[in-house]
Chains A and B, each alone.
Chain A
Amino acid sequence: MQAPNTQPIRVMIAKVGLDGHDRGVKIVARCLRDAGMDVIYTGLHRTPEEVALAAVQEDVDILGISILSGAQMTVFPRVLELLRGQHGSDIAVVGGGVMPDEDVVELKRMGVSEVLLQDTPPQAIVESMRRLVRERGPR
């Protein structure tokens, strides 16, 4: 049982663009739930605008976006820009899915906090989320 007055970490999990594969993202959502987090799932085929605004309204700690379509270099810069415009830049953006290593380096340079690729074990995903919130500190 959750001790009273400990705030669960809030995570939004999103699928952006023309990518219909959501089995992985559902497993991630489920394992974060089982780690005691509040997980807001947006469903498939969202736009960067929808996702960024929803993340601000939901005041999430982390916005996780899964991409299996190869659109990461378009989607992430746009989401980061929108979050900055909405005063949501203290939301940590995390990427997931399948993408080339050089893209991962570039995404982190742009401001994506973490990229968790296809072989990441569930417990490592949970640990990453906790670490990001710990590093950010209270807000």
Chain B
Amino acid sequence: MGRAVPPLALVQQVLEGRLTAVARMITHAESGEEACHEALAEIYRHTGKAHVVGITGVPGSGKSALVTRLCKALRAGGRSVGVIAVDPSSPFSGGSILGDRIRMNELVTDPGVFIRSMATRGALGGLARASLSGVDILDAAGYDVVLIETVGVGQDEIDVVQAVHTTLVVSAPGLGDDIQAIKAGVLEIADIHVVGKCDRSDAHRTVTDLKNMLAMGHRNSQGYGWQVPLIPTSSVSGEGIPELLTAIDGHLEALTSSGELEQRRRRIAQTRLLKSAENILRDQFQRHHDRQISELTDRMMSGRTHPHAAAQTLLNQFRSERKP
């Protein structure tokens, strides 16, 4: 790849699925630089073909190993797969260790699989800012299925559900009791529940707790005729992987036949609009309002104003500067 190729010049090669162009375009998207937006807009016009599947769950629940197994199963069925694997950035240095690939090495020499690691760079919610642009790029490049592996989530990082067609929530044995299973948050967003590490002897307990939770709830039938399944898997033995793939395809089928897919596409579009607006505003604030932010913080520290009033002042200043 030559030096300093403008993003727009790469679009055609991305659409042809050229590896280096796809890789470089994701780098441009991550940079958020002004020059990439025109190219990403062009790419966006060519999206909408891929089935986008999110994989979320607590750290160490086996998401990366599961993604590896899923990729292999999808490849065996002749489908190509793009993967965006998100890991956290350091809040102090901004750096990161992206280790999801360690479990995916065996996939890399398969030309039908493209894996990209991404650091969160301060974004909350389990995804990176550029994750969804990354999905667009892989979709436009012709990958049949795009998997997004979120960071290991806690209880409330649920951005992924607003960004994908099908959400898998991965639970693992030994991480909590039946009360954890009825809490609000991550467990509620599953279209498919996966219990990983079922080669472990205590896995049946986790399966039972989650099954009881599902039996109690009303949302397990989601209003478009989809019963949320629970699938025990083992990435060591491969147990449950064919069933999981069937469930993923079944979910897309249910979404399509019920019209829910269009609803979700709309929801994804709206989320992205709002997220983009949020990002633009945050960037403008950080770039141009350091002085005001610092002054208002001083006033809060000395007790002369409180957070809500200070925020109002900041926004009023921001608005008045932008009036024609």
Give A contacts to B, CB under 8 Å. Answer: 1-5, 7-8, 10, 29-30, 32-43, 46-47, 49-50, 53-54, 56-59, 86-88, 90, 136-139
Q: Return chain A residues, CB-CB under 8 Å to B264.
A: none
Kindly state the separation between the CA atoms of A90 and B1 in the bound complex, as whole angstroms.
7
Q: Return chain A residues, CB-CB under 8 Å to B121.
A: 2, 8
B19 at the interface (CB under 8 A from A): yes
Q: Return chain A residues, CB-CB under 8 Å to B99.
A: 40-41, 43
- Contact across chains for B23 and A59 when beta carbons are under 8 A apart: yes
Q: Return chain A residues, CB-CB under 8 Å to B114.
A: 57
Q: How far apart are B123's CB and chain A's nearest CB, in angstroms? A: 12
- Contact across chains for A43 and B3 when beta carbons are under 8 A apart: no
Which of A36, A50, A57 neighbours the largest number of chain B CB atoms within 10 Å of its CB? A57
- Contact across chains for A139 and B3 when beta carbons are under 8 A apart: yes
Q: Return chain A residues, CB-CB under 8 Å to B91.
A: 1
Q: Return chain A residues, CB-CB under 8 Å to B116.
A: 57-58
- Contact across chains for A42 and B3 when beta carbons are under 8 A apart: no
Kindly state the separation between the CA atoms of A90 and B90 in the bound complex, as whole angstroms.
27
- Contact across chains for A30 and B97 when beta carbons are under 8 A apart: yes
Give B contacts to A, CB under 8 Å. Answer: 1-5, 19-20, 23-24, 26-27, 30-33, 89-99, 101-102, 105, 108-109, 114-117, 119, 121-122, 282-283, 286-287
Q: How far apart are B31's CB and chain A's nearest CB, in angstroms? A: 5
Task: Select B98's contact among A5, A34, A38, A137, beta carbons within 8 Å.
Answer: A38
- Contact across chains for B19 and A8 when beta carbons are under 8 A apart: no
- Contact across chains for A39 and B98 when beta carbons are under 8 A apart: yes
- Contact across chains for B20 and A34 when beta carbons are under 8 A apart: no
Chain B minimum-CB-distance residue to A89: B1
Interchain residue pairs A-B with the least CB separation, the first 9: A2-B94, A43-B102, A33-B95, A59-B23, A36-B94, A40-B98, A36-B95, A87-B20, A59-B27
Supply 8 further A-B pairs (C-beta < 8 A) apart from A7-B30, A42-B101, A57-B116: A1-B94, A33-B93, A36-B95, A38-B117, A50-B109, A57-B19, A57-B108, A90-B2
Q: How far apart are A29's CB and chain B's nearest CB, in angstroms? A: 6
Task: Select B105's contact among A8, A10, A42, A139, beta carbons within 8 Å.
Answer: A42
CB contact under 8 A between A54 and B23, given known A5-B33, A30-B97:
no
**Secondary structure at chain B's binding surface: helix, strand, loop or mixed?**
mixed
Q: How far apart are A17's CB and chain B's nearest CB, in angstroms? A: 13
CB contact under 8 A between A42 and B102, given known A8-B95, A86-B20:
yes
- Contact across chains for A32 and B95 when beta carbons are under 8 A apart: yes
Q: Return chain B residues, CB-CB under 8 Å to A33.
A: 90, 93, 95-97
Q: How far apart are A73's CB and chain B's nearest CB, in angstroms? A: 23
Q: Return chain B residues, CB-CB under 8 Å to A86.
A: 19-20
CB contact under 8 A between A139 and B5, given known A38-B119, A42-B105, A59-B24:
yes
- Contact across chains for A36 and B93 when beta carbons are under 8 A apart: yes
Q: Return chain B residues, CB-CB under 8 Å to A3.
A: 286
Q: Return chain B residues, CB-CB under 8 Å to A46.
A: 105
- Contact across chains for B105 and A54 when beta carbons are under 8 A apart: yes
Q: How far apart are A8's CB and chain B's nearest CB, in angstroms? A: 6
Q: Return chain B residues, CB-CB under 8 Å to A1.
A: 91, 94, 122
Chain A minimum-CB-distance residue to B102: A43
Task: Select B3's contact among A10, A32, A50, A138, beta carbons within 8 Å.
Answer: A138
Instruction: Return 19 A-B CB contacts under 8 Å, by A number.
Output: A1-B122, A4-B283, A4-B286, A8-B94, A33-B95, A34-B92, A34-B93, A38-B95, A38-B117, A39-B95, A39-B98, A43-B105, A56-B20, A59-B23, A59-B27, A86-B20, A90-B3, A139-B4, A139-B24
CB contact under 8 A between A87 and B286, given known A42-B105, A50-B108:
no
Q: Return chain B residues, CB-CB under 8 Å to A5.
A: 31-33, 283
